[in-house]
Amino acid sequence: MFGFLRDKLKAALSKFTKKVEEEVKEKTKEVKKETKKKEAKEKKKEVIPARKESPAVKKAQKKLKEKKKEVSAIVPEQKVEKPGFFAKLFGKKEEEKPEIEEKKEAEVITEKPEVQSEQSSAVPKEKKGFFAKITEAVTTTSLSEEKFESLFWDLEAILLENNVAVEVIERIKEDMKETLVKGKISRFNVDETILSTLKQSIDKILTFRGIDLVDAAKKKKPLVLSFIGVNGSGKTTTIAKLAHYLLKHHLTVVLAAADTFRAAAIQQLEEHANRLGVRLIKHDYGADAAAVAFDAVKYAQAKNIDVVLIDTAGRLHSNINLMDEMKKIVRVAKPDYKIFVGESITGNDCVEQAQQFNDAITIDGIILAKADVDEKGGAALSVAYVTKKPILFLGTGQNYNDLEQFNKKEIIKSLGL
């Protein structure tokens, strides 16, 4: 499983990674050039704080000297006039004023250097933060959105070729954009970052709340399951495999041949019932399918059977008569879970069918048949994410044991991630 997608994805990721690495190197060169210019500017700024104080102090001192000259020029003129006692008294007060002014000027001069010294002491801290940012800029970078779009295209094309739904591709794209465009990527581990981001994306896409049918059967008796899907999707064989799976877990089972539109479908299910040693409830060809389902549920209640498995006719959502029949079965049998069975190899068709059935009658879970021959694997990656319904099992062969519980870790491993 996923062999084709794994190989294609590996090649596409390798190409994508190389392109990103080249872009990161180019951006790193640009950052280094800018860094050298900034470093040169910062070195010039380092000298300025020590010199900033002297012009200010010199200017203040010059003003003080000028004031002193003015005062000294004024004092002699007052002495020549030979003032009286009161003139001398008032003259002294006038003489005191320049002294007060001198003191104020001195205070101003002493305050300014203190402020400047505080500013100069704060500079080294800012420098430290700046150089830390420079180091980060040299070792990490991000891509422009336009460049990312052009680089991602090859990877997107590979995913589309392998039947991965557009919704899933968009999710992967957004996650990568978050890392490579909006975030920072180290130039030393570009490949690891891309692989890690892709792995996390697929992990989230395949994360959903599953249904444990064995546990559910132990809590509610009888547990009624109806199976739906298009013709040829493998419903009947899947029902037989699930019956075998439930028997292995010590649960009793009854089958309902509610696909009364095909005589061959009734015969096929009867053959499986005989091989498995379980009871089959059937009516004649062309009978009311809802009546068959109803009888199977009543039989299970009377005989204390754990699980009822209802086979239904294959149909398309466009076939109004068959869809109405399906809705009637649901109303009459009141299944606990409506399970869609789809062919994994049909890819996007399988995803679309599941979505259409979900819109019509609301499915509860999904089983993907023929997953063992699906080399692309697009349906497995897409169907649960698009429908928001869990994948319960994968059909991996023609034998009864070839039914595996869905395991996202195995899927990720199969993709080489």
Q: Is the pTM of this model over 0.75?
A: no
Distance (Å, whole) CA 36 – CA 24? 18
Q: Look at residue 77 in the predicted model and tell me its pLDDT.
A: 47
Residue percentage of the chain with pLDDT more than 70: 72
Q: Of all residues in the chain, what percent are helix, strand and coil, respectively (each to 5)?
A: 70, 10, 20
Q: Look at residue 190 in the predicted model and tell me its pLDDT.
A: 76
pLDDT averaged over the chain?
A: 79
Residues 385, 386, 389, 390: is their CA dihedral positive or negative? negative
Q: pLDDT per residue over 96-155, tens digit each?
A: 444 444 444 444 444 444 444 444 444 444 444 434 443 444 445 677 888 888 888 888
Tell me which of 120-134, 150-164, 247-261 is least confident. 120-134
Q: Look at residue 1 in the predicted model and tell me its pLDDT.
A: 61
Q: Look at residue 402 in the predicted model and tell me its pLDDT.
A: 94
| Higher-confidence position of 17 and 270 | 270
Confidence tier at 286 by pLDDT (50, 70, 90): confident
Q: pLDDT per residue over 304-363, tens digit each?
A: 999 999 999 887 766 777 788 889 999 999 999 999 999 998 888 999 999 989 998 899
φ, ψ for residue 48, nearest 5 deg: -60, -45
Q: What angle do CA 405, 415, 394 make, to 5 degrees?
A: 20
Confidence tier at 227 by pLDDT (50, 70, 90): very high
Q: Look at residue 53 in the predicted model and tell me its pLDDT.
A: 53
| Higher-confidence position of 56 and 135 | 56
In the numeric block, which tokens belong to residue 184? 């920072």
Instruction: For residue 309, list its beta bridge partners.
Output: 225, 255
